[in-house]
Structure 1
Amino acid sequence: MSYARPSGLPIVDAMTPAVLVLVGPVTRDEVTGLCDDVRARLEATGASVVVCDVGGLGPPGLSVVDLLARLQLAARRAGGRIRLRDPDPALHALLDLVGLRFEVEGKVEEREPALGVQEAVEPGDAAL
């Protein structure tokens, strides 16, 4: 007996990013273990991204910036990168202040309209 191939895209685990939930405060001793976790998740899944849920890290500070920079470095050395999920606006501002750019999950890239948004044309507008 044979079965028809299911329609749609196949489910591939390597394409689904691993998620690392960070709960703070994180001590300096825990940073090395978290970096090892990032490398292990990249190698185990074959994905190029590890999503770091930073919503539970608590108030942003330089220790959080240091942690995220080290996680990004560990991911880059393993051939991947990290993506932030649920960052506090203050953390996002602090990362911008120190010059670190992280990809944020669900954030629309600059200069691109959000999906489903269309520009309206008003009568009398000049054609471009």
Structure 2
Amino acid sequence: MSSVPPAGLLTVDATTPAVLVLPGPLTGDQVPSLCDDVRARLESTAAGVVVCDVAGLGPPGLATVDVLARMQLAARRAGGRICLRAAAPPLLLLLELVGLRFEVEGEAEEREPALGVEEAVETGDAAV
């Protein structure tokens, strides 16, 4: 059996996160307009998060880190946060190297316990 996707636009409600596609490479000159974009998107959604698509940034540098940090600060001051989509491993490593931690789309939050199985051992069990 197959299903046909509905025609027309996707349903978007007030809790759907806004998406901001970042053009690459980023420079310090773009900080004010990108921070304004983040604040505007946070005002237009009740989700409290703006998803930043960073797939097109290219090789990361310190300018990219600076811009992302300032966008996160602007989002926090507006009562929200940003989440990275399609972040390449080199960007994540650079962010970690400078001590910044961003939420990454599709990654479990740190507060969530890891799923696993715990095995109980009875004191009278024979050793295997």
Task: Pick the TM interval, shorter chain.
Answer: 0.7 to 0.9
Percent of residue pairs bearing the same amino acid type: 68
- What secondary structure sits across from 1:84 in the alignment? strand
Corresponding residue of 2:6: none
Q: Which one-letter code corresponds to 1:88 in the other structure?
A: A
Distance change in 2, residues 1:43/1:109 (3 Å): closer
Distance change in 2, residues 1:126/1:37 (3 Å): closer
Among 111, 121, 124, the alignment partner of 1:127 is 121
Aligned-residue CA RMSD in angstroms?
Answer: 2.1
CA apart distance, 1:95: 0.6
Corresponding residue of 2:67: 67
- TM-score, length basis structure 2: 0.76
- TM-score, length basis structure 1: 0.76
CA apart distance, 1:126: 6.5
Query: Separation in 1 of the partners of 2:63 and 2:32?
Result: 13
Q: Which runs of 5+ in 2 are unaligned?
A: 1-10, 123-128
Q: How many residues align?
A: 110
Q: Which runs of 5+ in 1 are unaligned?
A: 1-10
Instruction: List 4+ stretches of structure 1 deviating above 4 A.
Output: none
Of Structure 1 and Structure 2, which has the larger fraction of its residues in helix? Answer: 1
Query: Separation in 2 of the partners of 1:28 and 1:108?
Result: 31
